[in-house]
Structure 1
Amino acid sequence: MASEGASNKNADCTLCDKIGLKPFTKENVFHYYIPLHGVVSYSALAVNVMNPGFVSKILPKKDLTNVLLLSSLAGTAFYIYGRPHLSKIPNSRRGLYAILGGSLFSMGSVLAWALMRSVLPRENAALATIAGLASGAVLVKLSVDYFTDCDKLVDKN
């Protein structure tokens, strides 16, 4: 019976490894899964800002902009909070830095998308959607690279 439980646990871990997910631990929930949810919300926010008609067709009486914005902000803040280069900063200040970074990233992206949307042709919703998703992907990649480089500067001793 005990060996069945162990083999199921190993099978679950193998499945997680195959699809690229981390095991559910407290650390992974806060520093992997919540930020992952934030990236999904960020992508949906990009579509919502760049092509608001698309979301209104799916959910005609629901405006999810604020929910997506807050979820994106929370995911970004949890990501920043968990970065190694901030590990020696007191938790309260670290939390403030994380909220500031999440707010600037999320709100700055919304502003950039709104400006981008104003210069794109109104009749081409597909172009606006692709531009929003592509620019969001570039911003996320640059941000992750920036934090990775910052983390490399931390003395590991």
Structure 2
Amino acid sequence: MKAMRLAKRAVTDPGALREIVEACRTVRLGAVDDEGMFIVPVSFGYDWELDEAGEAHLTLWLHSAGEGRKAAAFAAHGADGVEVAIEMDCEDGVITGDYACAYSFAYRSIMGTGRIFPVSNRDDKAHGLARIMAHMAPGAPSTFPDAALERVAVWRVEVDTFSGKQRQPK
């Protein structure tokens, strides 16, 4: 992975990276299909694990209708998955300056790449939907009738690489 230009803004601590993921409400997925490149913003849930070396592993869970451009692109290679780019960010406010070009913006962000896979197993779908509910509406009920599980498309993004970046408010 290419080094970050402003290394002082890199977020490398797994706990701080997880805090960014938790604070974000939307992930933007970039993908390519027969029509070209596209980006789609979606709500998400996630699983976060640390391996024995302390490296973070991130899995994102998404849901959508089972048809349309996004669904067709994400299902194009079935069990082999489709390459995607991810981006999520949290806005932390305007940084003012003495002149126009001295203004900036405070933020925290995650960028990365991975593969997206369709989820068809009932238990895996329920797990993914429960992770979305836990992230987007903590404490809300997360039981899903069989008819809903059959109807909804659930997607799992295995994030291969990701990095965090932040510019703190002054």
Q: Settle same-fold status: TM greater than 0.5.
A: no
| Larger radius of gyration between Structure 1 and Structure 2 | 1
TM-score, length of structure 1 as denominator length? 0.29
Q: Please state which structure has a larger fraction of its residues in strand.
A: 2
TM-score, length of structure 2 as denominator length? 0.27
Q: Please state which structure has a larger fraction of its residues in helix.
A: 1
